Amino acid sequence: MFRRFENMVDPYVDYPPTDRPPTRLLPFLLDYAQPFRAVFIWAALLAVLVAGVEIGLIWAMGWVVDILGGDPAQVWADHGWTLIGLGAFILILRPLIQGLDVLVLNNAIMPNFGTLVRWRAHAQVLRQSVGWFENDFAGRIANRIMQTPPAAGEAVFQVFDAIAFSIAYLVGAMIVLGDADLRLMIPLALWLVLYAVLMRWTIARVGPASKAASDARSFVTGRVVDAYTNIHSVKMFAQDRQELDYAKEAIEQARQTFQTEMRLYTLMDVGLMLLNGLLIVGVVGWALALWMQGSASVGAVAAATALTLRLNAMTGWIMWALTTFFRQLGVVAEGMETIAQPITLVDAPGAKPLVLTRGEIALKDLSHHYGRDRGGLDHISLTIPPGQKIGLVGRSGAGKTTLVKLLLRFYDPESGRILLDGQDVTAVTQDSLRRQIGMVQQDSTLLHRSVRDNILYGRPGATEEQMIAAAKQAQAHEFILTLADPQGRTGYDAHVGERGVKLSGGQRQRVALARVILKDAPILLLDEATSALDSEVEAAIQDTLYGMMQGKTVIAIAHRLSTIAQMDRILVMDQGRIVEDGSHDALLAQGGLYAGFWARQSGGFLDPDTQDS
């Protein structure tokens, strides 16, 4: 039975992704709610039906009170079957109706709606560019992805569990009181007006207050996760106190925003108690006055009293449900600041997969400054023939890494073009472009998964034998066999920790190399690929790297100039331009920047401040 309702909606159903999701709250929620339209209709109808049943029971109890004034035997003779039917309804049909209501809410909607929002929100954020992620805290992004789905689910739950039910209940209460005596509707109507005023006052303030509190919580998460992510630096520089102070500032802001939110609830509760006193005195008192005048029966007084006491109990729940509804909408609105941001780096309309047959790279008057006046690249034109091995050197800020990021299309160039085998990288699909490029970075981070998962990331369909062969080629197989994690997993099944922290820098680099070897892409980018290795391992890896390069077009960024001296061609960059171009021997003979770098090397490294940017 549960499974039937749990499977009413598939939260992973295919949908057309959008580059510009709705930025207003209601269209945003309606867009995500499309697969639930039929279920929502059922939930609304059942909520109204449940409210109608509850009102009907109160009316029935008033009727029972009225018929009890006669002889018991005659009452049973006249109304026995009706009373039996009422009992059967209460015992059988009422639980069935309410059971269907909670099954739709608790089993069809709640688990699936939040899952759908989380799945699609995560998919949407993953489509953002690298530059987008570089402009925000990873912790804050993750927090918004995690807190938005339950908030959206809770808002939907309150719509059907409280709002639809309470509206139907209030309408039914007016009908029941009007049936007893139209004048009984007057105090209830007055109370409804005052209740609506209090509700509007509360809701107008709860939404913004809730969004501010949610923003503050995300800010706290961002700062805390930032400290945990960089825990090595925190401990290395003994800055626990500074991190505490840094977090305290955000935590205090979160406390103050939460205090503001809670003040609203206190004022709401006090106002509600005053209004409920007026409701009880107004409706019950009037009903008693009408009974004393002979205008209302005892059953009418009993029904009015039962309705009023039930409303008195419900009003706090209704108000809390409504404020919860708008508070959760505030959380969703805060999450939308991340989820609903447009995707700015997109595949061109009609983009086709990149097809590489040769591996030629051509840069045509390429410029990119990240929106600044300087830095990056400045009008670079360059052709790298298929299979050529290029070494790339230069001081910090020369533009080396910018060139690599543009080649991978992590950013779009501000002007100029990049062509691979004559195909503009902005005109092909991003996934196909990056599948054709293998890259080993200076600081290779790994996923918090098994060694096997990390190596197979390069080619998920590879066999076990191919994966192990790649690990052996990267000089990683032997140390991998010695690995074990706290859960008892060993070898290729051992997990490497967040960003691979359980491995040494050299071990991480060798696993990263194995991943790229397994990928076997026709274009290879190396950014200080051996910088984390000791001399003995590096010597072994150098042979591996040169083996990897065979038949590929290669761009290698290096500070250790000896690692690129044997390249076909060396490019020297300075202030966003290529200022020298030639072989190692030719550049030494020129006596320019490269010759100066080579002469000033210490221990085989480029001596000036030459870290790339």
Closest CA to 495 of 465, 452, 461, 464: 452
As a whole number, the mean pLDDT across the chain is 84
pLDDT-derived band at 610 (thresholds 50, 70, 90) equals: very low
Burial class of residue 241 (count of CB atoms within 10 Å of its CB; 0-12, 13-18, 19+): exposed
Residue bearing tokens 């700062």: 223
- Both 501 and 529 in one domain: the answer is no
CA distances from 443 to 268, 309, 505, 527, 537 (A): 54, 67, 8, 9, 17
With residue 183 as reference, give the H or E element that holds it.
none
Task: Quote the CA–CA distance of 511 and 532 in Å, as a whole number.
Answer: 12
Closest CA to 39 of 73, 63, 7: 7
Dump the DSSP string for 66-115. HHTTS-HHHHHHHHHHHHHHHHHIIIIIHHHHHHHHHIIIIIIIHHHHHH
Task: Quote the CA–CA distance of 97 and 421 in Å, as a whole number.
Answer: 67
pLDDT-derived band at 609 (thresholds 50, 70, 90) equals: very low
Q: What is the pLDDT of residue 363?
A: 93
Residue 478 pLDDT more than 80? yes
Residue 137 pLDDT more than 50? yes
**Full strand arrangement of the beta sheet holding 361-368:** 377-384, 361-368, 415-420, 423-424
Q: Can you tell me the mean pLDDT for 246-267?
A: 87
Q: What is the pLDDT of residue 162?
A: 76
Q: What is the pLDDT of residue 373?
A: 67
Residue 121 pLDDT more than 80? yes
- Both 11 and 130 in one domain: the answer is yes
- Both 92 and 233 in one domain: the answer is yes
Q: What is the pLDDT of residue 383?
A: 93
Task: Quote the CA–CA distance of 345 and 351 in Å, as a whole number.
Answer: 13
Q: For residue 456, what are the domain limits?
A: 444-520
Q: What is the pLDDT of residue 237?
A: 75
With residue 131 as reference, give the H or E element that holds it.
helix 130-134
Q: What is the pLDDT of residue 464?
A: 94
- Which of 492, 520, 548 is at the close of a domain? 520
- Both 190 and 226 in one domain: the answer is yes
- Both 187 and 283 in one domain: the answer is yes
How many CA atoms are closer than 13 Å to the CA of 536, on its beta-carbon side?
A: 0
Q: What is the pLDDT of residue 555?
A: 92
Which CATH number characterizes residue 500's domain?
Answer: 3.40.50.300
Residue 75 pLDDT more than 80? no
- Both 90 and 146 in one domain: the answer is yes
Query: What percentage of residues in the chain have a pLDDT greater than 90?
Result: 22
- Which of 307, 339, 371 is at the close of a domain? 339
Q: How does strand 523-527 pair with strand 437-440?
A: parallel
Q: Can you tell me the mean pLDDT for 189-200?
A: 82
Q: How does strand 423-424 pair with strand 361-368?
A: unpaired
Q: What is the pLDDT of residue 533?
A: 60
Q: What is the pLDDT of residue 453?
A: 92
Q: Can you tell me the mean pLDDT for 256-277?
A: 83
- Both 160 and 271 in one domain: the answer is yes
Q: What is the pLDDT of residue 365?
A: 92
Q: What is the pLDDT of residue 563?
A: 77
Per the model's pLDDT, the better-predicted residue between 160 and 252 turns out to be 252
Q: What is the pLDDT of residue 299?
A: 73
Total domains present in the chain: 3
Which range, of 203-217, 293-307, 548-562, averages the lowest pLDDT?
Answer: 293-307
Give the pLDDT confidence of 141-183 residue by residue, as tens digits. 888 888 888 888 888 888 887 777 777 777 777 777 777 677 7
How many CA atoms are closer than 13 Å to the CA of 286, on its beta-carbon side?
A: 19
Q: What is the pLDDT of residue 116?
A: 92
Highest mean predicted confidence (pLDDT) among 61-65, 239-243, 584-588:
584-588
Residues 6+ apart with CB under 8 A from 37: none
Q: What is the pLDDT of residue 331?
A: 82
Q: How many CB atoms lie within 10 A of CB 599?
A: 10
Q: What is the pLDDT of residue 611?
A: 42
- Which of 277, 308, 339 is at the close of a domain? 339
- Both 546 and 584 in one domain: the answer is yes
Give the pLDDT confidence of 509-539 residue by residue, as tens digits. 889 889 999 999 999 998 876 665 666 666 6
- Both 260 and 392 in one domain: the answer is no
Q: Are the CB atoms for 270 and 236 separated by under 8 Å?
A: no
Q: What is the pLDDT of residue 538?
A: 66
Q: Can you tell me the mean pLDDT for 332-339?
A: 86
Six-digit token string for 449? 């998964």
Give the pLDDT confidence of 589-608 residue by residue, as tens digits. 998 898 888 887 644 455 44
Q: How many CB atoms lie within 10 A of CB 30?
A: 12
Highest mean predicted confidence (pLDDT) among 236-240, 277-281, 337-341, 561-565:
337-341
Which CATH number characterizes residue 286's domain?
Answer: 1.20.1560.10
Q: Are the CB atoms for 312 and 276 separated by under 8 Å?
A: yes
Interior CA angle at 291 toward 289 and 293, to 5°? 75
Q: What is the pLDDT of residue 384?
A: 94
488 three-class SS: coil
- Both 119 and 182 in one domain: the answer is yes
Q: What is the pLDDT of residue 536?
A: 63
Give the pLDDT confidence of 405-444 residue by residue, as tens digits. 899 998 899 899 999 999 999 999 999 999 999 988 877 7
- Both 467 and 593 in one domain: the answer is no
- 3-state SS, 536-585, equals HHHHHHHHHHHHHHCCCEEEEECCCHHHCCCCCEEEEEECCEEEEEECHH
Query: What percentage of residues in the chain have a pLDDT greater than 70?
Result: 94
Which range, of 219-223, 540-544, 555-559, averages the lowest pLDDT?
Answer: 540-544
- Both 213 and 312 in one domain: the answer is yes
Give the pLDDT confidence of 483-503 residue by residue, as tens digits. 998 888 999 999 988 777 788
Which range, of 117-121, 183-187, 445-449, averages the lowest pLDDT?
Answer: 183-187
Q: What is the pLDDT of residue 524?
A: 92
Dump the DSSP string for 355-424. --SS--EEEEEEEE-TTSSSSSEEEEEEEE-TT-EEEEEE-TTSSHHHHHHHHTTSS--SEEEEEETTEE
Give the pLDDT confidence of 393-403 residue by residue, as tens digits. 988 778 888 89
Q: What is the pLDDT of residue 157?
A: 83
